[in-house]
Amino acid sequence: MIVTPIKNSELDVLQDLAIRTYSAAFAHKNKPEVIASYYEYAFAKAHLNKQLATKDSLWFFARDNDTIIGYLKLNINQAQTEFQEPNGLEIERIYIDTTYLRKGYGKRLIDFSISKARQLKKNYIWLGVWEENPDAITFYKKQGFIITGTHDYDMIAEIQTDYIMTLDI
């Protein structure tokens, strides 16, 4: 697997992958109207384009040969959705296409995130994970993350609770 920065010209590919992976992970656990309103906001081209242009947000595709199999969004400094501490790095989005799940790619993206955090002189990584996503919680715990709190996650049509998980590096 190689990890490459996402280019502005790849916006359509990102949008398609984001919707597919988010749908696979969460559509079956949410009301259709909640998912629809979230997609309209979070995965709209204008919104994604603005996020791609954010200075302290780092977007990457995971590739297996020439196939894009996942993506990763890291935030530092003021781009972090919470805390905004200079010594932290947020993993805001980490998704793998369902065909490639449970093959080690998620761990490799976590390892990439750790390397990037060290390169940027960060002391810890944090992320939010939905409290009703036990597979993801278990995965992050296996990577060394611990639950350190909760926060509200705005799905536009409703508020959900995420666990905050952190990893000191």
Q: Which residues are identified as catalytic?
A: 140
Question: What is the three-state SS of the chain?
Answer: CEEEECCHHHHHHHHHHHHHHHHHHHHHHCCHHHHHHHHHHHCCHHHHHHHHCCCCEEEEEEEECCEEEEEEEEEEHHHCCCCCCCCEEEEEEEEECHHHCCCCHHHHHHHHHHHHHHHCCCCEEEEEEECCCHHHHHHHHHCCCEEEEEEEEECCCCEEEEEEEEEEC
